[in-house]
Structure formats: structure tokens, C-alpha cells
């Protein structure tokens, strides 16, 4: 028998009851003894059907232990296997069966028949020659048809050696296979795991496409190892992070990936190799991660453009003694002779450094990879030509937001839409090879040689990037489609089940708009981020059981009860601790100065003010110390009448600039409200302590005051239901899980502030006002081009400002999310805001669009973990906080209390944070207020940082800035130390 089967038998005999394979989403486990018996029965059935040396067996059973058993059975019979999977499409499967010359097809019926046989005894297992044919893999073909890669039995020893090298240090393992069984990675993992006596998890492919579900599976089933493309790794890391013994990445070039919690190995081994000659322990983030040095089996050379051997870089050519070549290829395509020895020319262009580590620089031919799947456009073109009935077709891969997709270009007079094309192509191509969009051209551009000039092809319009249209089938799906259309405004394009909310321009604010538009109380912002498409969001809503959610958070307390005492939330505790450090401090007061229509009636406005406050019980909450600790209590008696005072303009200015006494935490109100009428205007002044209210709440309150004045009835504010949920969440397993994500995200050394001038801390807070020389519309336009929210735009600019100021490339900042994740919360007033981190790894030659895409993914992941506020819940290192106040506070040209330190003659206040950027949109334009600790920064340095920030905002707002490189940002630091 072959050496691998000896190792497999050792595993069977050493621990027969140990689980060999887990499939069906973790519901079924098969022991080593059961797998051996199962494969033995199939081997007997194969022998009974005359299968032996050089006979091809097509495996047509579903993904699971049956596929593994058939593959083992073919080895026991000494025959040849070729795999198929339903995702290939019926026509492709039929082509493979015919092209491979399969003597027998093992489908579900055949497998069931085989289970009636007695297992083939060990003494009858085949002992094939190393050069007998072992298996055939089909890859994307440059001729337009998939081509078979023939490998001989001797390669199994190569696979055993390389996979042992990959996992030996970490045995025992529960290893998850996320790759299709028809990909060479499936064979690598099966052999590596089974020879080591470990457990192989065969992850259902739909689950692989659901990162949140996949991460949950890994945690629930205690998966300790896996191999996956780096794109998937980054998605999982952004959603909470993996917890493994070891991770292998493969399938595409690894860019800017480093995890310090466990070893990550970059593996390289194309289908033609059929083993893994290269591994590289990733020791830091690389712009292009090396693949390492070859193992002892591997003999290779690099050939330069002239076909000469190079010691530095060239096309990798490798000796493959057990690779027969491509099926039916009598011309030995791909083989070259170098100094009398035959090598296989891989088509991968490599460089090698002084330590012998190789790096893949790219493909010399036209091959592309999308989500780790290898694609030769010629095969896609062949299928599209067949459907359209024209030869003038070419296909090109494009990138958008860090994701690649295919566009097919053609000259056909008429063409079905993308949905119809997908339906017509589904039997010709796997799903990942079907183009996302189609563009008709009068003629395909040609180069001087008469070949299609793909560089001259136009980039697809955003409007073409809708997924193939799939009509909604249920009333719920119709409502969500309608919501997409209302919020995203896609024009004449239809929105179907598989259109992606974020690919079509959605962001966190538009997600809130979608929640309001749909009006389903079960729908949350995290649900939109997880689901993304109409289909997935509808499925999530259908699964959602409100009763289950209430079981997590506890019983709804119902109407506000003045007799009931509530503990403080963790966010409130943070503000309480800050207040206890400096009881006289007024830093965390929220203020608004609102110029109203002078024609408004005083009495009617006074009544509207009372009713608006009464509608939001959180505003009538008081904080006091009790024997059980600090508690909060609803106190409606504090909603006392307000009378409009007549005052002069000069006196009004004095009132606004006056420093008021601090709020007392003794059961007295935590708000102040005044109405003033001058000869020129009617003004409402509000001050509320942050411990009961956030900035978004002030916006809601002001809108509700005006709504009541104009006769509208306000909806009930469920603030105490939300408070009850927040208190139940605190300390729960769900909170710990969310905190793990943020802890993992923030590991490592980062610059968190502009480099301080002094070592002192805790002096007076000073401010520098910076007028931004661009409009709010320009900022929104730039944010839209980068597929960011306005908050994210300013966050990116702030991180780049620190990088430019410090000359660094790793930055950590915090940002605020308003925390209103479902329809109940949209009109709720209270302290719901959350404080999240964002990390940046800048590279000089990296495009700004890449940094923007990474930030968008991080912010999405932050919202997915959105009930925790990591920087408020524990001690933190000082860092820059970016607060986009928008137009929530600045309703008038009257200076805000938050900004009064910009003026002369105002008493200094203690500095709470080292530095903070507050951004305002007012009637006088955009303004950034740099609040800084004068014990850490000089005024000159704060002004210098503010000017760098302003320059970077202006640069990012320019058309095309997203295509620029980070090195251009660094040049914006060329400012004098002071004016």
C-alpha cells in the first residue's frame, strides 16, 4: 500500500474512536474506524466494478465525509480519481466526466450501493508504482475549456512531507477546510490531517460565504487551525478575530496581514505542483508577503525575460517528476528545458532575497484570482461568446473597495441583462467566474499586434455593479427592496435580492435611514452590516425571535417609575468618575444656542419646551449617591415651567460667555434651559450634562420642541427599556465577546497622539480654531467617492495628520457612534453614544482608497460589536478622539459654550483629554476645534497640527485623491514650526 495509507492506518489503530471528519455544519462526526470501514466498502465496490490501475473514477457525491471516503477508496484500489461539485454547473461537470474518460461515476446512489459491500481487506489494497496516475484536477483553461492536471502516485509523498511541515508543531488540531473539494487545497488538508490523527472539519460552502457565521462555527466547535485566502482572514479579523493554534493563508498574494496571537504561515503550491513547496512564517505586515524558501524536495530556477537563469528574479520554473502534464496535451505545454533538465514553467514571476525567501510579484500571463479562486479570463470569454453568439468578447478583472470583480466587454447588438446572463451561464461556469457586469462597445480596442488591448478598456460605471437581478419573492423582501430604493436612490435600476447595500453606496447613517424606512422593530444596524443584501437581511429578520432577545436583556421595565432606582451604565460611570476627579469642571456639558423665529409665541413655545422634556424621561433623570452606591432616578417634578426673559443683545452675549456653576449630583436637575427675547431675536439656551444625554439627543430634542410647537404629537421614548437592556448586557458573555474583538484589534504599538512637546499633563485645556477651506458639500462628495461616511472621512484625515506630524505609519484613534441601532432608538434621548477604536497601517506606496476601504470595514465591524464602548469601560492610554458634531449643535451664529475658550477673557478649565478634534458644520462654514492639554502641547504645536489637518482634508476632498498614494500625504507636513 502507499505510504499515506500506512499513516492513515496508524491513526485508525492508535485512536479508532477519535473523530476523523466533521461535516453537515458540525452535526455529524465520523470516527477514524468508521471512515476506514466506509472507504473500505467503497474500495470493494470499485474492485467489483473492475476499477484498478489507470482507471478514472469521477466523484460526484456532495461535500462531506462521503467525498473523503471515495478518495481514500480510490487510493486503496490503486485507481485514479477526479472530483466534481455541484457549484461547477451541470455542463462543466458533464464535460469533466467525458474529458477525463471516467470509467465509473460514484454518485449518491452508487455510494449507497457501495455501503452494502464488505470492506476491502488490507492485504488486497493496491501497491501502485510511483508513476501510476493518481488523480486529475481541472483548472481554468487558457483555451476556453477547463484543462485536466494529471498527477502520479509519487506526488502523495511530496504532499505528506509538505503538510507535515505545515502542522507538525501544533498537533493535535481541529482543522477547518473552507476550500471546495475540487480545489487542490482540499487534498492537502485531507492528507495532512488524517496522517496526523487530527480532526478535519468540512465547512459548508454557504457558511464560508458568511464570515459572521463562520466565526461563530469556529468558536462553537473549537476549531484550532485552518487555511483560507487572506481576503477571508481580514473579514474574520474585522468581525472579532480568530482564536487558533495556527493559520495557513493561500490562494492569493498576502498584503498587509499580520496577526501576533498565533502563527500565520503563507503557503504556496499551485495545482500543477500538487504539493506545497513553500511556507513562510509571517513575522510582520508586508506590502507583499514572501512565500518563503523551498523544501528539500524542490528544485527550481528563475528565468529572466531572455530565458536565462537569474539569481534575483524571473519566472519560476520547477522540477515536477510526478506531474504528467495536462490531459490530452501531446505538446507538453508549460514545460521548458534548462541546461538539459526539464522544468515546468509556472507563469509566476518571483524575486528572491539574500536569505533565500521568494516573493510572488505577479502573473506573466492573463490569469487573475478573485476571492482566492483562480480564473483564466479565456474560459469566461469562451462561455460568454457561446451565450451571446459573437466572437467579439473579452473579460477583465477590476477592483473596487478592495474587492475584485469581472466585467465582460462585447460588441453584440443586444444582450440580456446581468440577471439573465447569470442564469444562462450557470451551467457553463462556477458562480465565482460569472461576470458581475457587461459593457457593450462599438469595437474592442486593439494593440499594434492586433490583440485586444485590455489596458484601454473603460472601467465599468457604478450603475453596472448591481448584482444580477433576482426579483423579491415575499412581502418582506419587497419591503426591503423598496427601502433600498428609497434610501439609496439608484435611479432607474432595479434592486433585487442579491444587491449589496454597501456596494451601492450605503453607510451607517443610511443604514439608520433604512431602518426607519422599513419600520420593522426587529431590524438593527448590525443586522444590516451582517446581511448586506436584501435576501440575507430578510432571512435574518425571519429568524429573529423577539422573545429570545428579551430573554437576553431581561424584562422591559415599562413606563418610567419615579420610585425605582437604577444603577449607572458603564458609559455613565465613566462620566461620573471624570466628574469626581474635578467636581468644578464643566467639560462634559452639552450646550446649544438656538436662534428661533422671533414671530413664535412665547406661551406656546414655553409649553412646547415642557412637553418635549416630558416626552424624554432621560432628561428628567437625576444622579445621587445612596447606601448601595451611585444611582439614577426618574424625577418628573424637575420639569418646571419656563418663562421667556426679555434681554438686550449685549446682555445675551454676556450670558452666553458666562461660566455657570457645575451641576450637582444630589438629586437636582442635570439640565438648564432658558428662553431669551432680544429686540432682534428669540433664543433658546440649553445646557445638559453628558451623563444623561449625548449630542444626537440634543438634535432630537430641538426637533421635538419645534414639532410640539407646530401641533405634532410625540411618540413614546422607550429610554428605560433601553437602559434595562444596557444594564443586563454589562458583564454578560456577549459583552466579553465584544470586548475581545476590540482588545485584539488594538494590540501592538501605535501612535495615538501627535507627539507631545512636554512631559507634563493635566494643565489647562486650551483650544485652537481652524477654519476648513472647503465646503460641507465637498466633504460629502469626497466621502462618497471613497465609500465612507463623513465621520470616517474626518477620521481618516485625523489619522493621516498624526502620521504626517509624527512621521509614523501606525496610528490608533477613537471615534464616536451614536449607538442608535434599531427603530426604537431613533427618537430616543439619552446617553447612547459609543466610543470605538480605529487602527491604521499606512504604507507609502499604498493608495488612499485602500486605507479608506480598510477603515470602512473596521467601522462596520465596530458597529457589529456595537453595544460595548471599549474606551469608556476601562482604563485606556491617552489617544486622540475625533468628534464630528456635524450640524447637531451649531444652529446659529452665536458662539457655542463648547467653543468659548477660543475667545479672550474666559477662565481656563482643566484638561481632561490630551487632545481632541471637534468638527462643526455651521452657517459660517466648516470649523475644526483642536482642544489640547497645555501641559503637553504648546499653542504653536497645536496650530501646526491643525494646519496639517486642514491641508489633508482639502487634499482628500480633491477629485481623484483616492487614487493617490500615502507618500503624497506625508509631503503635507512641510509647514513651518510656527507662523
The 10s digit of each residue's pLDDT in 533-564 is: 898 899 888 887 443 444 333 444 556 788 88
Work out the percent of the chain whose per-residue pLDDT is above 70: 88
Q: Which pLDDT band holds residue 403 (cuts at 50, 70, 90)?
A: low
Closest to 883 in 3D by CA, of 811, 821, 818, 832? 818
**Which residues, in sequence order, are CB contacts of 249 under 8 Å at separation 6+?**
227, 228, 229, 230, 233, 257, 264, 265, 266, 267, 282
Residue 533 to residue 463: CA distance in whole angstroms? 17
**DSSP secondary structure string for all residues of 422-447:** HHHHTTTS-GGGS-SEEEE-SS--B-
Residue 73 to residue 472: CA distance in whole angstroms? 45
The pLDDT score that the predictor gives to residue 178 is 92
SS3 262: coil
Least confident of 69-78, 98-107, 926-935, 964-973: 964-973
Q: What is the pLDDT of residues 896-918, one digit of tens each?
A: 322 222 222 223 344 557 888 98
Residue 3 to residue 941: CA distance in whole angstroms? 69
What pTM, to 2 d.p., does this model score?
0.53
SS3 638: helix
State the architecture of 1-17+32-153 in CATH terms.
Answer: 3-Layer(aba) Sandwich (3.40)
Q: Cβ of 511: how many Cβ atoms within 10 Å?
A: 24
Q: Is the pLDDT of residue 631 over 90?
A: yes
State the architecture of 475-544 in CATH terms.
Answer: Orthogonal Bundle (1.10)
The pLDDT score that the predictor gives to residue 897 is 29
Report the phi/psi class of residue 925: left, alpha or beta, with left for phi > 0 and alpha for psi in -120 to 50.
left
The pLDDT score that the predictor gives to residue 512 is 79
Q: What is the pLDDT of residues 838-859, one digit of tens each?
A: 889 887 777 888 788 778 878 8
Q: What is the pLDDT of residues 173-205, one digit of tens each?
A: 999 999 888 888 899 999 999 999 999 999 998
Residue 687, CA atoms < 13 Å, CB-side half-sphere: 20
Q: Are 475-544 and 731-973 equal in CATH topology?
A: no
Partners of 771 in the β-ladder: 927
Residue 125 to residue 566: CA distance in whole angstroms? 73
Cα–Cα distances in angstroms (integers) from residue 803 to residues 755, 842, 927, 973, in the given order: 10, 8, 21, 9
The pLDDT score that the predictor gives to residue 761 is 56
The pLDDT score that the predictor gives to residue 453 is 79
Residue 170 to residue 199: CA distance in whole angstroms? 13
Least confident of 328-332, 486-490, 973-977: 973-977
The domain 376-465 having CATH identifier 3.30.300.30: the answer here is: yes
Residue 207 to residue 216: CA distance in whole angstroms? 10
Partners of 919 in the β-ladder: 884, 928
C-alpha cell at 167: 502542522
| Burial 343-360, CB ≥16 within 10 A → b, else e | bbbbbbbbbbeeeeebbb
C-alpha cell at 596: 428661533
C-alpha cell at 696: 444626537
Strands 80-83 and 133-139: parallel
Q: What are the domain boundaries of the chain? A: 1-17+32-153, 376-465, 475-544, 589-724, 731-973
C-alpha cell at 384: 460568454
Closest to 833 in 3D by CA, of 891, 909, 884? 884
pLDDT greater at residue 795 or residue 966: 795
SS3 514: helix
The pLDDT score that the predictor gives to residue 372 is 56
For residue 216, with 0-12 CB atoms within 10 Å meaning exposed, 13-18 middle and 19 or more buried, which class applies?
middle
Closest to 969 in 3D by CA, of 756, 854, 806, 858? 806
Q: Cβ of 840: how many Cβ atoms within 10 Å?
A: 24
Highest mean pLDDT among 320-324, 458-462, 553-557: 320-324
Q: Which pLDDT band holds residue 618 (cuts at 50, 70, 90)?
A: very high
Residue 173, CA atoms < 13 Å, CB-side half-sphere: 28
| Burial 724-747, CB ≥16 within 10 A → b, else e | bbbbbbbeeeebeebeebbebbbe
C-alpha cell at 340: 538539459
User: Helices marked H in 908-957 — which ranges?
Assistant: 939-957
Residue 776 to residue 791: CA distance in whole angstroms? 12
Residue 634 to residue 759: CA distance in whole angstroms? 44
CB 867 within 8 A of CB 728: no
**Which residues, in sequence order, are CB contacts of 456 under 8 Å at separation 6+?**
445
CB 772 within 8 A of CB 926: yes
Axis crossing angle, helix 719-729 with helix 546-553, rounded to the nearest 10: 70
Closest to 813 in 3D by CA, of 857, 771, 754? 754
SS3 266: strand
| R_g (Cα) of the chain, nearest Å | 32
Q: Is the pLDDT of residue 876 over 60?
A: no
Residue 658 to residue 101: CA distance in whole angstroms? 90
What's the CATH number for 589-724?
Answer: 3.30.559.10
Per the prediction, the chain carries an average pLDDT of 84
pLDDT greater at residue 106 or residue 595: 106
**DSSP secondary structure string for all residues of 605-618:** HHHHHHHHHHT-GG
Q: Which pLDDT band holds residue 465 (cuts at 50, 70, 90)?
A: low
CATH topology for 731-973? Chloramphenicol Acetyltransferase (3.30.559)
The pLDDT score that the predictor gives to residue 585 is 67
The pLDDT score that the predictor gives to residue 945 is 95
C-alpha cell at 320: 515536477
> Which single residue is written with the C-alpha cell 487542490?
184
The pLDDT score that the predictor gives to residue 463 is 64
Closest to 192 in 3D by CA, of 126, 76, 89, 275? 275
C-alpha cell at 821: 441601532
Mean pLDDT of 928-941: 90
Q: What is the pLDDT of residues 98-139, one digit of tens each?
A: 999 999 999 999 999 999 999 999 999 999 999 999 999 998
Q: Is the pLDDT of residue 210 over 50?
A: yes
The pLDDT score that the predictor gives to residue 454 is 79
Residue 956 to residue 797: CA distance in whole angstroms? 8
Q: What is the pLDDT of residues 764-818, one digit of tens each?
A: 778 899 999 998 889 988 988 887 888 889 999 999 999 999 988 889 988 878 7
Amino acid at each position: 500500500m502507499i505510504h499515506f495509507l500506512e499513516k492513515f492506518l496508524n491513526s485508525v489503530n492508535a485512536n479508532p474512536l477519535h473523530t476523523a471528519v466533521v461535516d453537515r455544519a458540525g452535526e455529524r462526526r465520523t470516527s477514524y474506524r468508521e471512515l476506514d470501514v466506509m472507504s473500505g466498502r467503497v474500495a470493494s465496490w470499485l474492485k467489483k466494478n473492475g476499477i484498478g490501475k489507470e482507471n478514472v473514477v469521477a466523484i460526484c457525491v456532495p461535500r462531506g465525509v462521503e467525498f473523503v471516503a471515495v478518495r481514500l477508496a480510490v487510493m486503496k484500489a490503486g485507481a485514479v480519481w477526479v472530483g466534481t461539485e455541484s457549484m461547477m454547473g451541470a455542463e462543466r461537470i458533464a464535460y469533466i466526466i467525458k474529458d477525463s474518460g471516467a470509467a465509473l461515476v460514484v454518485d449518491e446512489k452508487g455510494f449507497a450501493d457501495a455501503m452494502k459491500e464488505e470492506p476491502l481487506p488490507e492485504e488486497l489494497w493496491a501497491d501502485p508504482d510511483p508513476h501510476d496516475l493518481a488523480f486529475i484536477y481541472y483548472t481554468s483553461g487558457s483555451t476556453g475549456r477547463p484543462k485536466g492536471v494529471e498527477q502520479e502516485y509519487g506526488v502523495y509523498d511530496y504532499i505528506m512531507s509538505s503538510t507535515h511541515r505545515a502542522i507538525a508543531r501544533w498537533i493535535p488540531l481541529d482543522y477547518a477546510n473552507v476550500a471546495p473539494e475540487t480545489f487542490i487545497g482540499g487534498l492537502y488538508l485531507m492528507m495532512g490531517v488524517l496522517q496526523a490523527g487530527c480532526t478535519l472539519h468540512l465547512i459548508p460552502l454557504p457558511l464560508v460565504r458568511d464570515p459572521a457565521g463562520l466565526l461563530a462555527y469556529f468558536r462553537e466547535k473549537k476549531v484550532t487551525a485552518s487555511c483560507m485566502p487572506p481576503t477571508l482572514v481580514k473579514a474574520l479579523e474585522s468581525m472579532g478575530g480568530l482564536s487558533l493554534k495556527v493559520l495557513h493563508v493561500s490562494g492569493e498574494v498576502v498584503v498587509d496581514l499580520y496577526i501576533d496571537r498565533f502563527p500565520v504561515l503563507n503557503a504556496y503550491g499551485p495545482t500543477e505542483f500538487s504539493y506545497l513547496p513553500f511556507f513562510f512564517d509571517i513575522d510582520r505586515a508586508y506590502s507583499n508577503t514572501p512565500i518563503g524558501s523551498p523544501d528539500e524536495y524542490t528544485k527550481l530556477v528563475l528565468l529572466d525575460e531572455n530565458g536565462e537563469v537569474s539569481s534575483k528574479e524571473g519566472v519560476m520554473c520547477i522540477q515536477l517528476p510526478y506531474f504528467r502534464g495536462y490531459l490530452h496535451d501531446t505538446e507538453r505545454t508549460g514545460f521548458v528545458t534548462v541546461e538539459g533538465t526539464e522544468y515546468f514553467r509556472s507563469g509566476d514571476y518571483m524575486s528572491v532575497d539574500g536569505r533565500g525567501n521568494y516573493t510572488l510579484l505577479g502573473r506573466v500571463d492573463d490569469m487573475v484570482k478573485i476571492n482566492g479562486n483562480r480564473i483564466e479570463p479565456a474560459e469566461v470569454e469562451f462561455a460568454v461568446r457561446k451565450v451571446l453568439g459573437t466572437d467579439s468578447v473579452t473579460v477583465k478583472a477590476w477592483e473596487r473597495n478592495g474587492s475584485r470583480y469581472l466585467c465582460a466587454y462585447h460588441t453584440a447588438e443586444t444582450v440580456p441583462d446581468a440577471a439573465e446572463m447569470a442564469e444562462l451561464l450557470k451551467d457553463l461556469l462556477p458562480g465565482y467566474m460569472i461576470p458581475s457586469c457587461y459593457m457593450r462597445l462599438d469595437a474592442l480596442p486593439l494593440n499594434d499586434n492586433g490583440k485586444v488591448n485590455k489596458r484601454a478598456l473603460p472601467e465599468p460605471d457604478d450603475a453596472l455593479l448591481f448584482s444580477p437581478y433576482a426579483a423579491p419573492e415575499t412581502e418582506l423582501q419587497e419591503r426591503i427592496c423598496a427601502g433600498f430604493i428609497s434610501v439609496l436612490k439608484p435611479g432607474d435600476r432595479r434592486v433585487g435580492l442579491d444587491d449589496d447595500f454597501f456596494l451601492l453606496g450605503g453607510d451607517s447613517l443610511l443604514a439608520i435611514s433604512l431602518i426607519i424606512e422599513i419600520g420593522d422593530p426587529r431590524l438593527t444596524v448590525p443586522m444590516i452590516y451582517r446581511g448586506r443584501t436584501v435576501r440575507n437581511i430578510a432571512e435574518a429578520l425571519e429568524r429573529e425571535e423577539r422573545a429570545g432577545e428579551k430573554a437576553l436583556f431581561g424584562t422591559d421595565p415599562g413606563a418610567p417609575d419615579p420610585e425605582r432606582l437604577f444603577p449607572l451604565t458603564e458609559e455613565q460611570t465613566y462620566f461620573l468618575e471624570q466628574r469626581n476627579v474635578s467636581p468644578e469642571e464643566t467639560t462634559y456639558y452639552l450646550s446649544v444656542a438656538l436662534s428661533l423665529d422671533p414671530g413664535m409665541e412665547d406661551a406656546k413655545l414655553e409649553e412646547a419646551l415642557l412637553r418635549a422634556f416630558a416626552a424624554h424621561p432621560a432628561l428628567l433623570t437625576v444622579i445621587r449617591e445612596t447606601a448601595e452606591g451611585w444611582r439614577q432616578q426618574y424625577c418628573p417634578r424637575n420639569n418646571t415651567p419656563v418663562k421667556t426673559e426679555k434681554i438686550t443683545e449685549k446682555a445675551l452675549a454676556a450670558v452666553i460667555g458666562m461660566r455657570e456653576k457645575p451641576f450637582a449630583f444630589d438629586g437636582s436637575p442635570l439640565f438648564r434651559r432658558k428662553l431669551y427675547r432680544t429686540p432682534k431675536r428669540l433664543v433658546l439656551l440649553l445646557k445638559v450634562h453628558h451623563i444623561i444625554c449625548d449630542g444626537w439627543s440634543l438634535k432630537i430634542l430641538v426637533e421635538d420642541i419645534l414639532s410640539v410647537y407646530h401641533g405634532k404629537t410625540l411618540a413614546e421614548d422607550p429610554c428605560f427599556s433601553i437602559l434595562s437592556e444596557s444594564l443586563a448586557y454589562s458583564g454578560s458573555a456577549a459583552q466579553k465577546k465584544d470586548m475581545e474583538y476590540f482588545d485584539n484589534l488594538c494590540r501592538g504599538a501605535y501612535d495615538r497622539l501627535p507627539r507631545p512637546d512636554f512631559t507634563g499633563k493635566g494643565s489647562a485645556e486650551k483650544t485652537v480654531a481652524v477654519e476648513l477651506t472647503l465646503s460641507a458639500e465637498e466633504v460629502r462628495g469626497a466621502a462618497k467617492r471613497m465609500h465612507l461616511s463623513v465621520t470616517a472621512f474626518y477620521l481618516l484625515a485625523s489619522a493621516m495628520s498624526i502620521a504626517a506630524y509624527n512621521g509614523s505609519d501606525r496610528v490608533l484613534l477613537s471615534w464616536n457612534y451614536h449607538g442608535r441601532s434599531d427603530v426604537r432608538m431613533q427618537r430616543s434621548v439619552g446617553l447612547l453614544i459609543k466610543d470605538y477604536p480605529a487602527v491604521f497601517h499606512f504604507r507609502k506606496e499604498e493608495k488612499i482608497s485602500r486605507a479608506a476601504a480598510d477603515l470602512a470595514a473596521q467601522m462596520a465591524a465596530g458597529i457589529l460589536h456595537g453595544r460595548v464602548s471599549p474606551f469608556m469601560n476601562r482604563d485606556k492610554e491617552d489617544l486622540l478622539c475625533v468628534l464630528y458634531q456635524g450640524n447637531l449643535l451649531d444652529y446659529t451664529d452665536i458662539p457655542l459654550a463648547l467653543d468659548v475658550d477660543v475667545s479672550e477673557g474666559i477662565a481656563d478649565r482643566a484638561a481632561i483629554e490630551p487632545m481632541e478634534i471637534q468638527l462643526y458644520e455651521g452657517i459660517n462654514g466648516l470649523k475644526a476645534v483642536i482642544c489640547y492639554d497645555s501641559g503637553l502641547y504648546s499653542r504653536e504645536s497645536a496650530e501646526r497640527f491643525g494646519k496639517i489637518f486642514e491641508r489633508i482634508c482639502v487634499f482628500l476632498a480633491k477629485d481623484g485623491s483616492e487614487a493617490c498614494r500615502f507618500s503624497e500625504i506625508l509631503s503635507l507636513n512641510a509647514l513651518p514650526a510656527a507662523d
